[in-house]
Structure 1
Amino acid sequence: MRLILLGPPGAGKGTQAQRLVERYGIPQLSTGDMLRAAVAAGTEVGKRAKAVMDAGQLVSDEIVNQIVSDRVDARDAARGFILDGFPRTVPQAEALRDILAGKGQKLDAVIELKVDESALLERMKKRVADTVAAGGKVRADDNPESFKLRLDEYRAKTAPLSAYYAGTGELKTVDGMADIDAVTAQIAGILSMAAAK
């Protein structure tokens, strides 16, 4: 099962991805984690990424695409994966299509969690309160100012992916405002239909 979860910050992608990891036994591949792992492993592309990051610059699409390509070849991703934070842009989505095609693979699903953006700020505040109550560590960017910036960046760069994947016929949407279990059930329904193809 190879899939992408789309949706703005706070839409519940992380929660649903964890449930999918448990259900399907496939890894959740986060761009940040993949970058850090490649740097730590000292791979060729990891060394290039480290040089760019050490210079305080953003890692290019070319480097990110190579890291993703290498990561999906790993043994734990043989049965599939959930991409988190990649692709972020239409050019990355096109690169991903080419990467997978070169491996004789394709995506099984692109699922967008549709949410009411005005409710996301309240959802983020609740997540912070729940994390604090549980004695956990709150993300540095879980505050109203950072959250608004993340939402603006999502709208500008990542939201166009919806139109791109709708155009390829791969996009499926679920009601991200529904109860967590209901969202999980909607996603399970989409995936079982994808598996039956």
Structure 2
Amino acid sequence: MNRQRLVVGISGASGFIYGVRLLQLLAELDIESHLIISRAALLTMAHETDYKLAEVTALASQYHRADDVAAGIASGSFRCLGMVVAPCSMRTLAEIATGTSSGLIGRAADVTLKERRTLVLMARETPLTLAHLRNMTAVTEMGGIIAPPVPAFYARPESLAQMVDHSLGRVLDLFGLDAGVATRWKEHREPCGSGLARECGGSFNNDGG
């Protein structure tokens, strides 16, 4: 294997752009990407973006149909860094947590876990039910990483694109990859600037702060 490889699954949760942008960042890093898009994700793509399927699949090194459980990435012999599901729906999370995959995303995730590779699920849902929390716990106990796309306000994002990039930069950190898009704490600006930020020296109280 000459190039590093990463499997990318896009499921039907809101946040299709996370998967698209991840593919772009991997291309910039010269990482070979293997893409799977669920049927539900195609509906989300149409509702949330102006992308066409052909445009998205062109961003990946290789595209695999969601029902192609005979694809190379469905086997443990497929060598790669691991897998990211961006975003990860609660249905996909449940399939991974219980090992009852109905398609290639679940199977590839199952393979990632059994081979002890890094699996990152950008779980996208709120509020969370007890079933969701238990499934997240199950995946974590199996070695997976639950990484919801949470904005980092210390980075002072000025656009949705910056918020997306920061979340994906932190996900790529988990694979030892630096895309240069994550703002590091205290590396680019001092968190105490003006207004309420001046209070961060220790004067915030504990009953509301």
Is TM more than 0.5 here? no
TM-score, normalization: structure 2?
0.40
